[in-house]
Each structure stands twice: as C-alpha cells, then as structure tokens.
Structure 1
Amino acid sequence: MAGRGGAFALVALCMLELALLHGAGAGAGERLVPAMFVFGDSTVDVGNNNLLPVCKPECRANYPQYGVDHPSHAPTGRFSNGYNLADQIAKLLGFNESPPAFLSLQAEGIIPRMNDGINFASGGSGLQNQTGEHCGGVYSMADQLEEFTLVVKMMGNSSYDLISRSLFFISVGSNDLFEYAHAKNPPPNRNDTAFLKCLVDSYKTYLQELHALGARKFSIVSPSLVGCCPSQRAAALQHHNDFDELHCFRPANNLSKQLYALLASKLQELGGDLDGMHYSICDSAGMAEMVFTPGGAKDPTVVDTACCAGPGPFGVGLCNTSATLCPNRTNFVFWDSFHPTEYASGLAASALFIDNGKFVRPINVGQLAAL
C-alpha cells in the first residue's frame, strides 16, 4: 500500500476539548522558531516520494483523491485529503505549511537552503535501511540524515545559530513495525525485544548525528497503535482473527506499546548526555488507546474504516480513481488504509502543543519551541 508511514501516527482526538478550551500555536505573523526540519515517513512526507524516480507508483500520493481538500485541490505528495501532521505542526509554529520537500528544491534547480526549513520525509521509510524496499526505493532515515548533513556543509558555520533554535520534527518507526509483524517467514526463535532495541539504538544514532550538526530541539512522535488502522484490522482477519481488545491487529499493537517505553527511556538518557538537548516525546500508543476503546471516540466517530475506501474489509484498497470517498471527511479518523484525515491530524497537532504531561513528556511542543 502507498507509503504506509505509520497510519494515524498521532490520533489524539480525545484531546479535542482541551485544544478548543486553551488554543495552541503562534499568533498572527508570529513564528515560534526560525525554521522547522522534518524527518520520517508518509505521515509527514510532503512530496519527496513523488520525485523519487525509483519509487513505485503505489508508494506515491499522486492520485487525484490525495489533496481533494488541500487549497490546491490537487495531489501534492501528501498521504492525506489535505494537510498532514507536519503541516499542522508548522502552522502552529507560525508557518503557512510544512517546509518544502527536499527533492522539490532540487527539481526546481534551487540550491537547498535553510530559510524556513526543509522536509526530508519519505513515505514507506523506516529506522532500518531495508524498510520500504517493497516501494522500489525510498529515503531511509540514514538517507535523510545524509542529505541534511550535505545541506549543513553547504551552508557553513552560518547555519549553526539557525539550526540550534529550530524545531526538528520526527515521525518514524511504524513501517518497521508493519514489516516485522507481517514477515512471511519469521524465524521460530524471533526475539521481539531484540528487534525493538535495535530500532531504538538506530533512533539514538540519528539523534546523536543531528545533535552533532547543531540540533537542540527535538519533537518525537512515537508510532501509534499501528494495528488499528484499516489495513491492519483487515490483516487480523487473515491471521485467524487475531484481534486484541480494541478489535485491532494484536501483534502490531503489542510492538507499538513496547517501543514507546523503550524510546522514552532512551530519550531520557540522551537528554542527560547531550549538551543542550531538549525534547518532547508523544506517547501516541497511549493516546490512540483512548480513541479506539469502544465508545471512546466522540469526534470523529468512524474509527475503523477508510474514508477513501477500496473494496476490501474496513475500506481497504488503493485510494485511487476507483475508490469511494466518504461525504464527511471530518467524521473519519482514517483517510485511506493507513493514514489519518486532515481533520484528525489537526486535532493531534493541537494536542501535541498543549498536552499537560499525560501523553506528551517531559514538555509539550509549545513549551519546547519557546525554549
């Protein structure tokens, strides 16, 4: 399926009332940080996959349905009906939308520059280099860090102050969980803990590399309950109805819950070791559990079915010209088989900015930006 970046990485719909009561983000004409740099998968990709020549068509968001609610009413490379999580966070920081896709700058013959930031995210990618190979070729996290390093070197020492005051927004890891949970021939002695530790060690390496380049403010989105997106609910049917108490694919959800705890512990360790590092991590799995508990979601109410629906159970299928669109996108958590609607992403972004420590720790993104 196209760029299955992590489903609803952060469906914090239960935080809606809090967001409406307190508000969030920058005021008109105000920017909370000078720039934003985005890394990760299809939850935050704004067009890089569309410009990767080796990326297969099914891993690009260029069908007409993608972007139906975007101001352009055209596909932009976002795996959404409109803006995605990176855009929503950027708006709260005082920008119009996510910084441009790195490859769009190259395609236009523009020398990559910092300015408002750059988005390096690539749908289907993960923490491991081999993740996303089914797409034919995507930018892994290692690739994204390599490109960022080259840009920093081009800018020279003048970039350090900008980088140190900017926000680094990272949403990655879900695709690694998808592929591991669905391995066709898993070894009989497969060790889930060792696999997750490997992911966290990779995350640590990437954060250390970014810190060495001057990054100081990190907003980390842990993978949500990936087993609850429509594609994984459908997969549970094929795995002897292996549903958990949320009616989601049990093995994938178990991985999500374990990964958050390990990642949070590693970040606490890094926060003490890396000079000047500040971070905010969201327990997306914990947020999602409240949403997907039967009777838990009040707005939107449709939590298990894709709005851009294919012919399969739970509306699973390609979000292409043959798909059926739901009439009310604000009533659905999921846009397609893996990704949230623009509405769900907006609610999630607001929660990231104002959560009081229940799911976003040790500080929220609003507080992080203000440091």
Structure 2
Amino acid sequence: MLTKMYRVFFYVLVGTIFVISKCCDATMESNNTAPVLFIFGDSTADVGTNSFLPKTKIIANVPFNGIDFPNSRATGRFSNGFNSADFLAKLMGHKRSPQPYLFLLKAGLRKKMFRGVNFASGGAGLLDVTGKDLKIVPMSKQVKQFKTVLSNLMVVKGRHEAKKIIRKSVFAISVGSNDIFGYFQNQSTVDPTVFIESLMEAYQCHIESLYHLGARKFGIIGIPPIGCCPSQRIHNTTGGCFEIENTFARAFHSSLDALLNKLSCELKGMKYSHGNSYEMTMNVINHAQQFSEYYAILMLFIFIFVKVV
C-alpha cells in the first residue's frame, strides 16, 4: 500500500511539473538551450537552502533524506531523492535544480547564479509570519535575494543584456501550504475568506515584485490536498483526511487562478502556467484501483488544469 501511494504522488508530481514546464517551451525551441531557472518556495522545492541557516532546526541534510539520491547523499532536500524543483529543471533541459542561493554566495560562485538559482526554503510561506520562529527564509526575503542576483548580473553583463536574460528566464513558485498549516496550528480566529484574501495579497505582491525586476514567465505549482498529509490526518479521529484543510486548499487554488488571470491582463508580457496539483492528486487517490502504472501518467495529463496566457 505504501509503495502504491509513493507511485501516486510521483505521478502527480510529474504531471504537475510537465505542465509547468510548458511555459518555457518557446524559449527552448528558439534557443535550443535550457532556459535560466529561478525557483522560489518551501520544502517542496528546497534543495539545501536550510542547510546554510545556522539558527534553524528545519533541515534535511541528515539520513534518511536522500537515500535514493545519487550515492544516497542527504543534500538538504526534504525528500528521499530528487524533488519537484529537480524534476522541473530536468524537464527544462537541466541536469537537476540550480544550486541554493546561499551555497553559491558562500562558495564564491556568484557567476554560476547566472545559470539559475534556487531560493526555496523549507518552512517558508507567503506571509512573513509563517515560519518566523523557525528562522527560515520567507518569500519576501527570497525575492530580495533574487534582486541581489539581478544586481550582480547587471554588473557582469550590463543592464540591457541582464534584462534580456531575465525576460527569457522561468520563475517557478511552489508555496502556500505552510501558511494554511500555520492557520490551524495557531488556532487562528481570522475569517477563512479574509485569510485566503491575505494570502492572495501576499502572492500578488511577490509576483509583482518579480515582474518589476524583469520576470515575465511564471510557473506556479498549486497546493495539493494538504489535509491528506499523514501529519494532518492525525487531526481526524477516523484517520481520514483533515477535510477542513482541503477546503482551504481548494479555495486557495480558485483564488490564485483568478489572481493569475487578473495579473496577466494587467502586467504586460506576463505569461504563466498554473498546475492544479489538488485535482490531480485527488483524482488518482479516489480512483487508484482504476489506474495502471502507465495509464496513471496519461490520466494525470488529461485531468490537469492549466491556464496558459
């Protein structure tokens, strides 16, 4: 049963990332090279950022993380092997995800930043208050780190060439689950609708900040049914999914879809892909017996919802 569930989530991951990767197809076809990739978000995309944060306890550079990674190394990924950032990068022509910003900064490898950077930090959320006590890197700071990369790029390549590179780059974002987790952990009394609106305001702020720094191509990975995570199912006395969190996840997706549509109309040249990982995950879980190993992949592509502008 456990092996079957691993396969289910693997298929969901591949399906989501397949669609997100579509937003850079034109760039790859015209240049015949992998686009520069900048990745933001939480533990679903963190490839080692938290390993360079001395005050955080949210780390993954210890066994048994990485047990299925080449040479069974724990690399700081919150995964047994490659994670969503790696699969996305591979589908775009890279060997794996770009290195963490803090690694490139500390190792004096700033020129490698121009090939792409991963800013994602396990425990991060859209709101600065999310994960604040965990001493991680929130989305707002991740955007500031990108601004530093852009400044370095302008010094080396010149302003015109730097802007040209950034316009063709892909900005992938996978974040939001931790904000909802925090809402329930803190037993917030904020009205759910108001809370989701606050997340959308924060998301809009981050996207607009990146846009004004030159970003044009966005790959947005949606929130899956987080109430079905083992850590959340314990809140349900039956052992089933914690449905109220899934309700929030669905509201988050529909609100984000509307926001992205709105922003693409307001921000000239903005293009995006929005992968509905919630719908894909639930479809496979609810019809697991109907899916053979290969048919599952096909069906994931059929049921995926994406908005490409």
Q: TM-score range by the shorter chain?
A: 0.7 to 0.9
- What is the TM-score with the length of structure 2 in the denominator? 0.84
Whether 1:129 and 2:128 are equivalent positions in the alignment is yes
Residues 100 and 219 of structure 1, relative CA distance in 2, 3 Å threshold: same
Distance 1:99 1:268 in 2: 28
Whether 1:85 and 2:101 are equivalent positions in the alignment is no
- What is the TM-score with the length of structure 1 in the denominator? 0.71
1:164 aligned residue: 167
SS at match of 1:72: helix
2:147 aligned residue: 149
SS at match of 1:34: coil
Please report how far the alpha carbon of residue 297 of structure 1 lies from its aligned counterpart in structure 2 after TM superposition. Answer: 7.2
1:137-190 alpha-carbon deviations (Å, 9 max, x no partner):
000000100111122122221311111111111000000011112224x33xx3
Please report how far the alpha carbon of residue 231 of structure 1 lies from its aligned counterpart in structure 2 after TM superposition. Answer: 0.8
- Give the letter aligned to residue 361 of structure 1: V
SS at match of 1:280: strand
Distance 2:110 2:14 in 1: 40
Question: What is the 5 A alignment of 1:247-286?
Answer: 247-286=240-279
1:310 aligned residue: none
Residues 51 and 291 of structure 1, relative CA distance in 2, 3 Å threshold: same
The structure 2 residue matched to 1:177, chosen from 177, 180, 184, is 180
- Give the letter aligned to residue 177 of structure 1: I
Checking the alignment, whether the CA contact within 8 Å between 2:60 and 2:74 is kept in structure 1 is yes
Whether 1:234 and 2:234 are equivalent positions in the alignment is yes
Distance 1:90 1:113 in 2: 15
Whether 1:210 and 2:210 are equivalent positions in the alignment is yes
Distance 1:180 1:112 in 2: 40
Checking the alignment, whether the CA contact within 8 Å between 2:274 and 2:305 is kept in structure 1 is yes
Kindly tell me the number of residue pairs found equivalent between the two proteins: 287
SS at match of 2:265: helix
Residues 105 and 297 of structure 1, relative CA distance in 2, 3 Å threshold: farther
1:219-260 alpha-carbon deviations (Å, 9 max, x no partner):
0011111011111112323xxx4x7xxx31111111001100
Unpaired segments of 5 or more residues in structure 1? 1-7, 301-343
Aligned-pair Cα RMSD in Å: 3.0
Checking the alignment, whether the CA contact within 8 Å between 2:277 and 2:304 is kept in structure 1 is yes
Please report how far the alpha carbon of residue 16 of structure 1 lies from its aligned counterpart in structure 2 after TM superposition. Answer: 7.8
2:3 aligned residue: none
Distance 2:93 2:259 in 1: 30
1:335 aligned residue: none
SS at match of 2:113: coil
Residues 236 and 274 of structure 1, relative CA distance in 2, 3 Å threshold: same
Distance 1:98 1:162 in 2: 18
Distance 2:14 2:140 in 1: 35
Checking the alignment, whether the CA contact within 8 Å between 2:36 and 2:115 is kept in structure 1 is yes
Unpaired segments of 5 or more residues in structure 2? 1-5
Checking the alignment, whether the CA contact within 8 Å between 2:34 and 2:94 is kept in structure 1 is no
Residues 31 and 49 of structure 1, relative CA distance in 2, 3 Å threshold: farther
SS at match of 1:219: strand
Distance 1:299 1:88 in 2: 22
Give 1 or 2: higher helix fraction. 2
Residues 174 and 16 of structure 1, relative CA distance in 2, 3 Å threshold: closer
- Give the letter aligned to residue 83 of structure 1: F
Please report how far the alpha carbon of residue 34 of structure 1 lies from its aligned counterpart in structure 2 after TM superposition. Answer: 2.5
- Give the letter aligned to residue 258 of structure 1: A
Distance 2:272 2:278 in 1: 18
SS at match of 1:118: strand
1:277-301 alpha-carbon deviations (Å, 9 max, x no partner):
000001111112112226457468x
Distance 1:284 1:198 in 2: 22
Q: Tell which has more relative contact order, 1 or 2 (C-alpha 8 A, sep 6+).
A: 1
1:307 aligned residue: none
Distance 1:14 1:66 in 2: 20
1:303 aligned residue: none
1:195 aligned residue: 195
Distance 1:260 1:15 in 2: 16
1:288 aligned residue: 281
- Give the letter aligned to residue 143 of structure 2: L
Distance 1:360 1:82 in 2: 27
Please report how far the alpha carbon of residue 111 of structure 1 lies from its aligned counterpart in structure 2 after TM superposition. Answer: 2.8
